[in-house]
Amino acid sequence: MAVRSLEKIRNIGFIAHIDAGKTTVTERVLFFAGRIHKIGNVDDGTTTTDYMEQERERGITIVAAATAAEWKDHTINIIDTPGHVDFTAEVERSLRVLDGGVVVFDSVAGVQPQSETVWRQADKYNVPRLCFINKMDKIGASIDRTMESIVRRLGGNPVAIQFPIGVEDKFAGIVDLVKGKAFFFNEDPTLPPIEGEIPENLMDDYRKYRMQMLEKVAETDDALMEKYLEEKEITRAEVAAAIRKATIGNLIVPVVCGTALKTKGVQLMLDAVIAYLPSPLDVPAVEAIDTTTGEKVERHANSSEPFASLVFKAISDPYIGRLVFFRVYSGTVKTGAMVMNSTTGRRERIGRLVKMHAQHREEVESVEAGDIAAAVGLKNATTGDTICDETAPVQLEAITFPEPVVSVAVEPKSRADHDKLSEALVKLSDEDPTLKVNYDSEVGQTIISGMGELHLDIIVDRMKREFKVEANIGKPRVAYREAIRAPARGEARFVRQTGGHGQYGHAIIQIEPLKRGEGFVFEDKVKGGNIPRQFIPAIRQGVQEALGTGPVAGYPVVDVKVVVVDGSYHDVDSSEMAFKVAGSMAMKDAMARAKGVVLEPVMKLEVISPDEFLGEVIGDLGRRRAQVKNIEPQGDVQVVYAKLPLGESFGYANAIRSLSQGRASYSMEFDQFEEAPASVFATAGTG
């Protein structure tokens, strides 16, 4: 790329609910930026960023695709992310390394369930964003209603910087509230819109929207507020600068509109990306831990600082092998350089460096601060690892992923398939951090766990197509968990006498329940050296092994705090192995007294149903142990908000189709683990 000034780089992602139009928007952006010369279509399977066979067949995005484009002397690095909840990890890892986001909304549906998920993910990483209200030509389109739903359901602070000239089939242009100009769409949609004066009949709307914009922006800027209150003239440059500052500070979210399928409003949205979303210089320096001193340090977006980058994705490329995607936060790295993986402590050599354009690669000699690139040759680097200069090793904050909630058993059909299955699962779990693979020795089955039925369907489909594995697939099973209700004390003494040295380990632990989602906490409160420090990690290891099998139904135990309070050791016979066994035995002893309970994953469900089928939909939800939280009318349909146990959700797509003659739709996402009724876990062990 010709552009290298960091001020002229934007690292952005398109994020949204499924079917809001992210991939269509990305395709138009690439076309207008001259990156592609023919516009592809999602329904035809010809888009640039949906390049997997499964994506083209199903018309959905499954993996986040990276590409880049040039627009008005700026380089925009783009990641097009999936909208389906089963692939939420792709959004998570993309947002972790991006500087800004464009949230795409359907102008009729407004905020949808996955919109909430991606918004929360953007909040988690403090990603500044702007909203693109898409499909303004649809019947029922409304920029005001969509903005109201952003406030109500997301707690956002949307500020319209544009409003449409006409809606639905009369959508003819856009009024820019910052420039005070109208932009009329060209008859040839591939040409830029025509700039002109605002029509007289829209001046009242212009004054209303502009007043609302100035009020909200002035609230974020004292100097602007002073001018606004004194009714002094505020220049276009002052408004634009204040919007940019407030957007980067996550105080407001600028709102633009258009219809990507008809290529309307996309160029103006690109202008807004450049004008208001941050460059790598605008975001705070990334914090890291110096692995030699353990102290916090900062890495700035500066090519002269030591090299530091975060791996956010790894894929197997059929032509050049394993590709590792990373975001460079500071410094420069060249092809052939030796680097340190500070997460594993290993040195590795970068073989080749490439910039990605979906599945196409462009080789480069070096990458610098602010770049998103991929490397060939990093055999041991995986998602969340820090790759850095070996003379100044640091560790960046890793990426956290949700736990899988659905599992299926996979059995190879023949002996030849057995080895191919192992190889396929190793490669697929390397690419996808939410895919977990376990071998159940009791029944001799390989169990794969993921984020939902669709996620596992895609994994199985990829095993067959890419790795030529023929396998029998079991029915989906719920990934139950266990927790404890009460504090308990556990003690274990492991003593083994043999001919030579014996084994001796003695541990006393205290356990207590944590709140849902808090995970595992381990503390050492041994006093007086009763257990030497070097044996504490072994106790922790033993405790964690014991947590893998709960006392009620044998499921993994979560949300528990373990404190080692006392114990004893033997000068000669004590070993790490002995304390590991003692830790495991003490944990089992404590859990047996801690009033264990089985937890089941519960999904957040949103059903959109025509009025006449509402009774059937509610009745069916009642039979599935769902809790209906709210029912809201939305035009001529009803929106049902409910919580549904995952175990009751299998086959729901077919059920709701038959209940509503195919007219109702739904979306679902994981909410949390909740206590399961006794009737469920009586059969859970057999499921």
Instruction: Give a three-class secondary structure readout of 12-32.
Output: EEEEECCCCCHHHHHHHHHHH
139-158 residue pLDDT tens: 889 999 999 999 988 889 99
Give the residue from 99, 75, 100 showing the smallest Cα distance to 5: 75
Measured CA to CA, the distance from residue 198 to residue 292 in angstroms comes to 62
- Residue 80: predicted pLDDT: 76
Give the residue from 260, 259, 249 showing the smallest Cα distance to 217: 249
Q: Are strands 100-106 and 9-16 parallel, antiparallel or unpaired?
A: parallel
For residues 411-440, average pLDDT:
85
Could you tell me the two tokens for 109? 């549906």
Burial (CB < 10 A; 0-12, 13-18, 19+), residue 187, is exposed
SS3 of residue 502 by DSSP? coil
Contacts of 596 (CB under 8 A, 6+ apart): 482, 483, 484, 485, 550, 551, 552, 557
Q: What is the enclosing helix (H) or strand (E) of 526?
A: none
Measured CA to CA, the distance from residue 267 to residue 29 in angstroms comes to 7
| 52 pLDDT tier (thresholds 50, 70, 90) | low
Measured CA to CA, the distance from residue 422 to residue 658 in angstroms comes to 39
Measured CA to CA, the distance from residue 537 to residue 543 in angstroms comes to 10
Interior angle at CA 344, CA 341 and CA 347, nearest 5 = 45
Measured CA to CA, the distance from residue 84 to residue 668 in angstroms comes to 9
The pTM for the full model equals: 0.75
Find out whether 373 and 364 touch, Cβ atoms under 8 Å: yes
Give the residue from 42, 18, 13, 15 showing the smallest Cα distance to 452: 18
Distance (Å) of CA 342 to CA 153, 168, 339: 40, 54, 9
Unique residue bearing structure tokens 């106790």: 539
Give the residue from 124, 122, 78 showing the smallest Cα distance to 103: 122
437-463 residue pLDDT tens: 887 665 667 888 888 788 888 888 888
Measured CA to CA, the distance from residue 146 to residue 149 in angstroms comes to 5
Torsions phi, psi for 274 (to 5 deg): -70, -40
Measured CA to CA, the distance from residue 331 to residue 303 in angstroms comes to 4
SS3 of residue 186 by DSSP? coil
Measured CA to CA, the distance from residue 191 to residue 419 in angstroms comes to 54
- Residue 328: predicted pLDDT: 93
Q: Are strands 627-634 and 596-610 parallel, antiparallel or unpaired?
A: unpaired
- Residue 1: predicted pLDDT: 37
Could you tell me the two tokens for 685? 């062990």
Measured CA to CA, the distance from residue 183 to residue 264 in angstroms comes to 10
Find out whether 276 and 130 touch, Cβ atoms under 8 Å: yes
Residue 422 identity (one-letter amino acid): S
- Residue 276: predicted pLDDT: 96
- Residue 403: predicted pLDDT: 76
Q: What is the enclosing helix (H) or strand (E) of 112?
A: none
- When the pLDDT of each residue in the chain is averaged and rounded to a whole number, the result is 86
Question: In terms of DSSP H, where are the helices of 159-218?
Answer: 203-218
Measured CA to CA, the distance from residue 105 to residue 131 in angstroms comes to 7
Distance (Å) of CA 229 to CA 1, 223, 566: 46, 10, 67
Whether residue 583 is predicted with pLDDT greater than 60 in this model: the reply is: yes
What one-character DSSP code corresponds to residue 549? Answer: S
532-566 residue pLDDT tens: 989 999 999 999 999 999 999 888 999 999 999 99
For residues 329-350, average pLDDT:
91
Measured CA to CA, the distance from residue 221 to residue 649 in angstroms comes to 49
- Residue 2: predicted pLDDT: 38
* 105-119, 254-268, 553-567: least confident range: 105-119
Q: At what angle do helices 203-218 and 236-248 cross, to 10 degrees?
A: 50
- Residue 445: predicted pLDDT: 76
Give the residue from 398, 370, 369 showing the smallest Cα distance to 385: 398
Q: Are strands 386-388 and 338-341 parallel, antiparallel or unpaired?
A: antiparallel
Measured CA to CA, the distance from residue 306 to residue 296 in angstroms comes to 15
- Residue 182: predicted pLDDT: 94
Give the residue from 333, 374, 190, 178 showing the smallest Cα distance to 267: 190
Torsion of CA 323, 324, 330, 333, to 10 degrees: -40
Burial (CB < 10 A; 0-12, 13-18, 19+), residue 541, is middle
Give the residue from 621, 592, 645 showing the smallest Cα distance to 479: 645
- Residue 10: predicted pLDDT: 92
* 78-92, 412-426, 578-592: least confident range: 78-92
Could you tell me the two tokens for 475? 């029915």
Q: Could you tell me the sign of the dihedral formed by the alpha carbons of 540, 545, 546, 548, in that order?
A: positive
For residues 473-482, average pLDDT:
85
75-111 residue pLDDT tens: 898 887 876 667 777 888 888 888 999 999 999 888 8
Measured CA to CA, the distance from residue 169 to residue 173 in angstroms comes to 12
Whether residue 483 is predicted with pLDDT greater than 70 in this model: the reply is: yes
| 491 pLDDT tier (thresholds 50, 70, 90) | very high
Whether residue 57 is predicted with pLDDT greater than 80 in this model: the reply is: no
**Within the chain, what is the greatest distance between any pair of CA atoms?**
101
Could you tell me the two tokens for 430? 């390397």
Q: Could you tell me the sign of the dihedral formed by the alpha carbons of 43, 47, 50, 56, in that order?
A: positive
- Residue 687: predicted pLDDT: 41
Measured CA to CA, the distance from residue 340 to residue 250 in angstroms comes to 34
